[in-house]
Amino acid sequence: MHNFSYLEEILTNLKNDGLYRELREVSSAQSPLSTINGKEYIIFCSNNYLSLANHPRIISAAKKAIDKYGCSASASRLISGSMTPHLKLEGNFAKLLSKEAATLFTSGWCANQAVITTLPQKGDILLLDKYDHASIVDAAKESPADFRTYRRENLSKLEKYLASSKYNRKFIVTESIFSMDGDMANLDELVRLKEKYGAILILDEAHSLGCMGKDGAGFAQERGLLEKVDIIVATLGKALGASGAIVAGEAIVKEFLVNKSRGLIYTTAPPPSNSAAALEALEIIKGENDRRERLWKNSDYLRRKLKEARFNVGKSSSYIIPVIIGDDFKVVEIANRLFKRGLFVPAIRVPTVPRGEARLRISLQADHTKAQLDMLLDALVEIAN
């Protein structure tokens, strides 16, 4: 028997610091009203933004694919794992995102890891927004290139590095909607700077795919800049109600990733049924604009009401709305009291956000009702103020 007592000490310290975390069992679909630990809760933490995770057309598409292709790809993409639904999904995404080619990965984490550790070389520099997702930051640490961070509210530091002659190539890496703050990148200015200095712009559309743009292609489409972004990473496990991720760019980018990305070469391909589900979700997203409209209506309403109640929602301008509390213990207490009332809103603490910025992270769905939003608002006013 190994002695794991050192782990117990570390876990005890997490509990003492208010940073301990536990899993909860969800035994229903990811709809606004879900079953957790055997009881119904209104969930305000799922990334099922367009309420598609249990859409009957998507479920049907996945079932048909299982009947035809089975439950598993059973091999990596470079062996026998590149199946018809995978290739069709890649083609459809390339078209949607105005790129020459697209590559399917098993997760957003894997996609960012592939792009950031594979494409930049020694002598290059990666320039990350200070609050980019952990998948981007961890990949940058593994990359042969140097990396630095900049603040999106002041791009002078970014421009300083872009103007430097020290590096061979410069890569700007940013999320479109930031997952903890709910605000958006200054994409127009990033495009201007990347063109001025000949940089490569990588945009993670994890939280905007499906929810923004006339076709649901994301933030870049919303800003009219799809063709100006060099590489787009888009996850399928949020608004599309599936799982996996797409990397879209020039054909040579796909060719290079297929040949050099360890996360593609050494991983079993996603189930073909998942790609079939994502394909159907794309069709729904393009044809049902009202889902996006309901999502944005919900977010505008709740954000306005929270501000009126004098809650600090930071810089949020999307359907991700933080309620910044500050203290780690207090935010956990508030989250637990909400949970006892049947409202699931997670407490976000260090290391996900900086110390002193602990928050409740509210993420909304198109199918949340006004009554559910009001219930959350009333509970917050009573508990947190």
**Positions marked active-site:** 47, 133, 175, 179, 204, 207, 238
DSSP state of 236: S
Distance from C-alpha of 385 to C-alpha of 383, rounded to nearest angstrom: 6
- 3-class secondary structure, 101: strand
Distance from C-alpha of 87 to C-alpha of 90, rounded to nearest angstrom: 5
Q: Which of 112, 105, 101 is nearest to 142 (CA)?
A: 112
- 3-class secondary structure, 116: helix
Tokens linked to 321: 């709305």
* Exposure class string for 125-141: b at 16+ Cβ within 10 A, else e: bbbbbebbbebbbebbe
What is the number of other CB atoms lying within 10 angstroms of the CB of residue 297? Answer: 16
Enumerate the β-bridge partners of residue 246.
104, 234
Respond yes or no on whether the N-terminal peptide bond of residue 351 is cis (omega within 30° of 0): yes
Q: Which of 291, 314, 254 is nearest to 131 (CA)?
A: 314
Q: Residue 246: enclosing H or E segment and its boundaries?
A: strand 245-249
